[in-house]
Amino acid sequence: MSFILNLIGNLKPICINVNNSPIQTIGDLKKYVEEIYGISKEEQKISTYSGKYFKNEDKLITSIGPNHDFQISNLSVSILGGKGGFGSMLRAQGGKMSSKKTTNVESCRDLQGRRLKTINDATKLVDYLNKESERKRKRKEDIDKKIEEGLNIQTKKRHRFDDMEYFENHDKIMENIKGAVSQAYSKGNKKEKGKEKEKEKNEIKSLGLW
């Protein structure tokens, strides 16, 4: 009969022949592991493959059972725990994560294994193709409307002013203005000439020639 102990890490398992070995109890096995690997026997915990822990006084041959040829067990080591509170931290973080519910489910799949994003894209493509004729009709209507508006644009009319009475009055007024200006200009010249003649007479008198 054999008692097989799986060690921690990359250490090779220990196989003990219960019939010929001096190691007969779980306590003896822990002491043997301590001597070889330096693991304190107080920190060692040996359990069955299903997770049941052995006591130090349990015998190896008894643990194997009458109907089996070997017993597989596992070695675990006790480690110092923390100050606690880690569970409450996880619960608090889980609450925050659950409050942020996502609405993007396109990466999910339906019962046929098809991705929802692929289905949605295909649906949008079908809708686009179905509305293509409507878009073409609307585009044609817009073009026809612009053409019609361009043809209906009226050119600006030129208005001609044909009031003959206005033109006659305008010409008379312009003639009167020109005559008045000419008359005023001629009077100014006569006055200047008179002044010049008067000045010449005075000069002759002053010279005693008159």
Q: Within a domain: residue 21?
A: yes
Answer whether residue 69 is part of any domain: yes
* Beta strands 70-77; 2-6: pairing state: parallel
Q: What is the pLDDT of residue 111?
A: 85
Q: What is the pLDDT of residue 147?
A: 85
Residue closest to 22 by CA, chosen among 63, 61, 80, 49: 61
Residues 15 and 71 in one domain: yes
What's the pLDDT at 209? 46
Q: Which pLDDT score is estimated for 105?
A: 80
With CA atoms as reference, report the closest residue to 72 among 11, 137, 7, 28: 7
Residue 128: per-residue pLDDT: 87
Structure tokens at 82: 């923390």
- Residue 125 included in any domain: yes
In the prediction, which pLDDT does 192 show?
Answer: 64
Name the residue range of residue 29's domain. Answer: 2-77
User: Which ranges of the chain have pLDDT less than 50?
Assistant: 209-210
Domain endpoint, select from 49, 77, 105: 77
Residue 203 lies in a domain: no
Flag whether 173 is in a domain: no
Which pLDDT value is given to residue 46?
Answer: 92
Number of domains in the chain: 2
Q: What is the pLDDT of residue 195?
A: 66
CATH number at residue 64: 3.10.20.90
pLDDT tens digits along 139-157? 999 988 888 887 776 655 6
In a domain, 201, yes or no: no
Domain boundary among the residues 108, 134, 151 is at 151
**Residue 169 confidence (pLDDT):** 81
The secondary element (H helix, E strand) that includes residue 45 is strand 44-48
Q: At what angle do helices 132-151 and 116-130 cross, to 10 degrees?
A: 40
Task: Measure the CA–CA gap between 75 and 77, rounded to whole angstroms.
Answer: 7
Tell me the pLDDT tens digit for each residue of 64-89.
Answer: 766 777 888 899 988 776 666 677 77
Q: Which two tokens stand for residue 186?
A: 């001629």
Q: Is residue 172 part of a domain?
A: no
SS3 for 67?
Answer: coil
Give residue 171's Cα distance to chain centre: 79
